[in-house]
């Protein structure tokens, strides 16, 4: 393959796929490569028992941006899925996000005034004026009951650290609703692509040359020679040979199993908020698309420390890591023929609509 492309796109996740789609619309040629054996990055779905299984964790599309919503719906039709997770704390169930249903389950209160008074009583009793860590910050926002039952265990599992050892700025605010509303997201638009996210990726990459099972770094110079410019969506520290050291992430481990029942938990997402349960949540994938298959597929999600060989999911955006990223960002400014974009290249946690917006803007600015 000696063909010269306008763009070599390293990584076929949402950023790379949207950029390639926009480039093709403007008459540019693209080659998309990915080190995995499939396209789509972390939104990839694996078909098991005729169910679209979110292989890399739950992906629920939501946005307030009508242009982004219209953009994705021009490619694939979305269903009406609304994310309404349930929290399981030591066998008792509570609605999320924190709303009047939750407060009734906790305290038996029925009016917003009663709920507000209960929370305020608990906050006042604590006498926290200047929170010094995440635990104090959360307690000062929602009081003891909500914190100890629905936040503490989940957070400590997610971060792998005690809440008292985490900085307060991680929780700047906590969404508290004084309505009986279990819709987790406040966004106007929400849903899942009908037929799964692979349909969206296939539509974005339609007519574009793609290769999987390709490690860009094994033959970097050869790949670069195939295109005028490179769009790099991988780890920015890896691109620069870890010159200043490695950026840190949190990772996840998934345990997926097929169950001989048509409905295991009655909800797509159930969070386990006590510390004793080792996983943070169980996904039942068929409920993302209102499936009625005879069997079901569930996934337990275990947060873990990241190390080489594991998937880097969540940037640890503390001061040390952000300072390190800034050094790599400065280096990237010298790469005139390389475009850096996406969660790993920008060391930033993106929701799906945000990474699509970022790719659209980058493509509009540069092509």
User: Using CA atoms, how far apart are residues 236 and 241, in angstroms rounded to an integer?
Assistant: 9
- Could you confirm whether 351 is annotated as catalytic? yes
Q: Which residues contact 218 (CB under 8 A, 6 or more apart)?
A: none
177: annotated active-site residue: yes
DSSP code of residue 367: -
Active-site hit among 135, 136, 274, 301: 301
Among residues 88, 121, 130, which one has the least CA distance to residue 276? 88
**Which candidate in 250, 279, 302, 311 is catalytic?**
250
**Rounded Cα–Cα distance for residues 64 and 66 (Å):** 6
State the Cα–Cα distance between residues 139 and 143, nearest whole angstrom: 5
Collect all residues with Cβ–Cβ distance below 8 Å to 56 and sequence separation of at least 6: 41, 42, 43, 44, 252, 254, 311, 313
318 is catalytic: no
Residue 346 CA to chain centroid, in angstroms? 15
Compute the distance between CA of residue 190 and CA of residue 76 in angstroms, rounded to an integer: 14
Residues 6+ apart with CB under 8 A from 161: none
User: Among residues 53, 9, 119, which one has the least CA distance to residue 296?
Assistant: 53
Provide the pairing of β-strand 86-89 with 269-272: parallel
Choosing from 80, 173, 308, 365, the catalytic residue is: 173
Question: Hey, is 56 helix, strand or coil?
Answer: coil
Tell me whether residue 173 is one of the annotated catalytic residues. Answer: yes
Instruction: Check if 161 is active-site.
Output: no
Residue among 237, 281, 284, 343 flagged as catalytic = 281
For residues 246 and 314, the answer to whether their CB atoms sit within 8 Å is no
Q: Which of 34, 44, 89, 177 is catalytic?
A: 177
How far apart are alpha carbons 45 and 123 in whole angstroms? Answer: 43
Active site residue 36: no
Q: What amino acid positions are annotated as catalytic residues?
A: 173, 177, 250, 281, 301, 349, 351
């Amino acid at each position: 393959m000696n063909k010269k492309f306008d763009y070599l796109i390293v990584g076929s996740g949402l950023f790379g796929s949207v950029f390639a789609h926009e480039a093709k619309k403007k008459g540019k040629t693209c080659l998309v490569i990915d080190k995995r054996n499939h396209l789509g990055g972390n939104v990839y779905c694996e078909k098991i028992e005729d169910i679209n299984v979110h292989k890399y964790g739950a992906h629920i599309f939501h946005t307030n941006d009508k242009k982004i919503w219209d953009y994705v719906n021009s490619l694939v039709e979305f269903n009406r899925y609304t994310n309404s997770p349930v929290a399981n704390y030591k066998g008792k169930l509570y609605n999320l996000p924190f709303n009047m249903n939750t407060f009734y389950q906790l305290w038996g209160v029925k009016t917003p005034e009663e709920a507000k008074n209960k929370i305020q009583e608990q906050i006042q009793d604590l006498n926290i004026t200047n929170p010094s860590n995440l635990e104090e910050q959360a307690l000062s926002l929602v009081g003891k009951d909500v914190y100890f039952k629905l936040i503490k265990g989940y957070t400590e599992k997610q971060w792998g650290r005690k809440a008292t050892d985490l900085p307060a700025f991680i929780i700047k605010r906590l969404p508290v609703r004084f309505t009986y509303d279990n819709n987790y997201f406040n966004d106007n638009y929400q849903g899942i692509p009908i037929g799964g996210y692979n349909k969206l990726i296939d539509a974005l990459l339609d007519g574009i040359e793609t290769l999987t099972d390709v490690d860009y770094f094994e033959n970097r110079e050869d790949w670069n020679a195939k295109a005028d410019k490179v769009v790099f969506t991988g780890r920015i520290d890896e691109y620069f040979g870890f010159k200043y050291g490695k950026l840190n992430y949190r990772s996840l481990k998934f345990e997926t199993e097929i169950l001989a029942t048509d409905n295991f938990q009655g909800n797509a997402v159930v969070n386990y908020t006590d510390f004793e349960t080792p996983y943070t949540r169980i996904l039942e994938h068929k409920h993302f698309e209102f499936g009625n298959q005879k069997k079901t597929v569930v996934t337990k999600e275990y947060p873990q420390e990241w190390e080489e060989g594991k998937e880097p999911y969540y940037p640890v955006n503390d001061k040390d890591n952000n300072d390190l990223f800034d050094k790599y960002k400065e280096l990237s400014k010298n790469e005139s023929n390389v475009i850096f974009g996406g969660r790993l290249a920008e060391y930033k946690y993106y929701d799906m609509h945000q990474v699509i917006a970022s790719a659209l803007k980058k493509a509009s600015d540069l092509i």
